[in-house]
Structure 1
Amino acid sequence: MTSVAARLRHVASAALAALVLSSLTGASIAEVPAVEAMEISARPITEFQIGRAEKMFGPLEFVGGLELTSSSRNLGGLSAFRFLEPGSDFIGVADTGYWFFGSIVRDGELRPAGIENFRMVQMVDASGHAIDKKWLADAEGLAVKDGIATVGFERDHRVSQFRIDPSNMKAAFRELDFLVPRNELRQNRGFETVAYSAQKQSLVVVSEKSLDPAGNILAAIIEGPGKGIFTVVRDGAFDITDGAFLPDGDLLLLERSFSIASGVKMRLRRIEGESIAKGKVADGSILFEANMSYQIDNMEGLDVWQRQDGALMVSLISDDNHSILQRNLYLEFILHDD
């Protein structure tokens, strides 16, 4: 009887300690969020311009695309992605506070044919609890280098670094100084672009629509040579949603506009690498613009990579905002450098 009583006292003490700890921290005892594996149905997109077989759009050659659906309610909100293996394995962030991972399946002509091994998992805080408040986990931009994911968040503006482990994504281990004064960043117009320049060995952030007094978009080189704030010319009614550096050092920006009258549009703009420098106003040329007569949606994510045959590739994803009126799309192009 004595041993049973002792065990009961031990259990009661442990429970009381857990209760006290919970009341002191204001948090409940929670398990690490489980990785959710999803079956993805991928409908091939063979024509980029609806009803037309044209493949060339300025310097871009349409390769193929996919419309992605799943029975899981968590699929959606896809904001940014980067390939871990060119054209195959990828990592991404959703603006709902999730990581996502998967691989592109290809046909015999190297066109995207499906998605396999797709999974999502919630981001966690320093205590290992899932971050379930959107304003704390509104992930919008992503860069990858040497096993480290650098993520740009808006609302609670920050640029954080994580070690990449698809089976066990932990909390950020480092917060970076993004240089731009916090009070200059609009609540829902923060850092949509986080990109590494291999040529300059630098890390660059560009906001969606946080503007300086001249109406230019705030940006910064936050790591590497020439650290400092610069701006990007805002051209028309388009806002920046992502970007990636090309091999020659130019920055390819994905931009989006929306109005009730004209619907959604997307645009690709090539920013001259030499204009990306502390104190400068960066600008470049428009490569292509598409409206709702093309297979687009709310285009949010972009990556640049090299195919096995040497082709320079541009891949785009859309954010469906978890709306039945929108779609999750993956689109792929060859960028011809004439």
Structure 2
Amino acid sequence: MKSKRGGLRQTLFAAIALLSGVASAAAGSAGSSAVEPVEVSARPIAEFHISHADKQFGPLEFVGGLEMTSPTRDFGALSAFRFLKAGSDFIGVADTGFWFFGTVVRDADNRPSGIQNFRMQQMVNEAGRAIDEKWEVDAEGLAVKDGVATVGFERDHHVAQFKIDPADMKASFKQLDFLVPARELRQNRGFETVTHANANGQHEGGLVVVSEKSLDKAGNIYAAIIEGPHKGVFTVKRNGDFDITDGAFLPDGDLLLLERSFSMARGVKMRLRRIYGESVEKGAVADGPVLLEADMGYQIDNMEGLDVWTRNDGALMVSLISDDNHSILQRNLYLEFILHQD
């Protein structure tokens, strides 16, 4: 039986479809593009399964999480993030056209306990002016490598690169060819996954992009390898009514995808799916098994961002964040798991 809290949250989620678009469009203020320090309060989450003490969910072991709140108007709509320092300093993008930076703080048992030094900066154009039109800066996907952030944008579909400077992010210095025909990309279903393949794998560290829900005639999801020796378009097999919201490559070359499903009747669901690395190739239909599926009986929300990193003790970690759409009915969550490989 679901907890009363889970049932209440499911009822509240039924209103999101009506409110989230309006709330997101209203967020983000015109004017300065200066870096803005943001006060973030974080309530630790000890149980992933609400009112249950179990920690193991298939190959994933729940470590801990945070529910983040802030009085700052621009805080929220967190779409994607990547760690700049494993498990600590991070960079991210909000779909309202903001960069964000911060640090995950840990307790004596190495569980997340808070967020420090959180900052936000509005994205700017070539003239250094803040971009206020959401359709121009609907940032959804993010990859980082060698001091460069690569961002996938929806609505005005493009993939752009930026030099990482937490003190002063500038305009994009390069636009990338994402290979998928633009006519095949749905307005609000573009590239939510932007990630680098493994440096020693077949794609030699090249960028891979996966759309949220831009479907081919067979009902599979458009994706592409846009860098490296084997560039080309491929698709990911759509499994049920789940859409893809982020992804990152695992050390063995498999691609871990974060997926989301929503309906007015049952609320939101989250899923992690492991795509076989050898199926990520030009012309292929990539597929793989589901590792975890969770509904509103669990501590989830609109899960949008994912990163994979290695802890000091060698544990392979998976971190997730949610996008609250600037809605009072939703939450900004950070969740952390160990992915056991045996």
Give the TM-score of the pair, scaled to structure 1. Answer: 0.90
Quote the sequence identity (%). 75
1:303 maps to 307
Give the whole-Å Cα distance in 2 for the aligned partners of 1:215 and 1:194: 21
Note if contact 1:44-1:67 (Cα within 8 Å) is conserved in structure 2.
Answer: yes
Query: Are 2:286 and 1:282 aligned?
Result: yes
Q: Secondary structure at the match of 2:183?
A: helix
4+ runs deviating over 3 angstroms:
none
Give the whole-Å Cα distance in 1 for the aligned partners of 2:31 and 2:212: 35
Counterpart of 2:295 in structure 1: which amino acid? N
Query: Are 2:295 and 1:291 aligned?
Result: yes
> Structure 2: which 5+ residue stretches go unaligned?
1-29
Give the whole-Å Cα distance in 2 for the aligned partners of 1:145 and 1:264: 32
Give the whole-Å Cα distance in 1 for the aligned partners of 2:31 and 2:332: 30
- Aligned with 2:256 (options 249, 252, 259): 252
Q: Deviations over 1:281-328 (max 9, x none)?
A: 100000010000000000000000000000000000000000000000
Q: Secondary structure at the match of 1:115?
A: strand
Counterpart of 1:133 in structure 2: which amino acid? E
Q: Once the 2 structures are TM-superposed, how far is the Cα of residue 34 of structure 1 from its aligned partner? A: 1.2
Give the whole-Å Cα distance in 1 for the aligned partners of 2:112 and 2:62: 11
Give the whole-Å Cα distance in 2 for the aligned partners of 1:194 and 1:225: 18
1:25 maps to none
1:9 maps to none
> Structure 1: which 5+ residue stretches go unaligned?
1-29
Query: Are 2:324 and 1:312 aligned?
Result: no
2:145 maps to 145
Q: Deviations over 1:206-233 (max 9, x none)?
A: 0000001100000000011200000000
Q: Secondary structure at the match of 2:289?
A: strand
Note if contact 1:32-1:128 (Cα within 8 Å) is conserved in structure 2.
Answer: no
1:16 maps to none
Q: Once the 2 structures are TM-superposed, how far is the Cα of residue 250 of structure 1 from its aligned partner? A: 0.3
Q: Once the 2 structures are TM-superposed, how far is the Cα of residue 31 of structure 1 from its aligned partner? A: 7.4
Give the whole-Å Cα distance in 2 for the aligned partners of 1:78 and 1:161: 19
1:272 maps to 276
Q: Secondary structure at the match of 1:51?
A: coil
Within-5 A mapping of 1:70-149: 70-149=70-149
Give the whole-Å Cα distance in 2 for the aligned partners of 1:31 and 1:186: 30
- Aligned with 1:223 (options 224, 227, 252): 227
Counterpart of 2:33 in structure 1: which amino acid? P
Give the whole-Å Cα distance in 1 for the aligned partners of 2:229 and 2:40: 42
- Pick closer, same or farther for the CA change 1:247–1:88 going to 2, 3 Å: same
Counterpart of 2:169 in structure 1: which amino acid? M
Note if contact 1:95-1:140 (Cα within 8 Å) is conserved in structure 2.
Answer: yes
Q: Pick 1 or 2: higher relative contact order, CA cutoff 8 A, min separation 6.
A: 2
Note if contact 1:252-1:270 (Cα within 8 Å) is conserved in structure 2.
Answer: yes
Note if contact 1:31-1:128 (Cα within 8 Å) is conserved in structure 2.
Answer: no
Q: Once the 2 structures are TM-superposed, how far is the Cα of residue 202 of structure 1 from its aligned partner? A: 1.5
Give the whole-Å Cα distance in 2 for the aligned partners of 1:31 and 1:181: 35
1:337 maps to 341
Give the whole-Å Cα distance in 2 for the aligned partners of 1:178 and 1:202: 12
Note if contact 1:302-1:314 (Cα within 8 Å) is conserved in structure 2.
Answer: yes
- Aligned with 1:239 (options 237, 240, 243): 243
Query: Are 2:214 and 1:210 aligned?
Result: yes
1:157 maps to 157
1:10 maps to none
Give the whole-Å Cα distance in 2 for the aligned partners of 1:239 and 1:203: 20
Within-5 A mapping of 1:169-180: 169-180=169-180
Counterpart of 2:319 in structure 1: which amino acid? S
Q: Once the 2 structures are TM-superposed, how far is the Cα of residue 260 of structure 1 from its aligned partner? A: 1.0
Note if contact 1:37-1:118 (Cα within 8 Å) is conserved in structure 2.
Answer: yes
Give the whole-Å Cα distance in 2 for the aligned partners of 1:32 and 1:74: 13
Q: Secondary structure at the match of 2:172?
A: coil
Note if contact 1:241-1:256 (Cα within 8 Å) is conserved in structure 2.
Answer: yes
Give the whole-Å Cα distance in 2 for the aligned partners of 1:117 and 1:192: 26
Give the whole-Å Cα distance in 2 for the aligned partners of 1:41 and 1:94: 18
Give the whole-Å Cα distance in 1 for the aligned partners of 2:227 and 2:180: 13
CA RMSD of aligned residues (A): 0.9
Aligned residues: 309
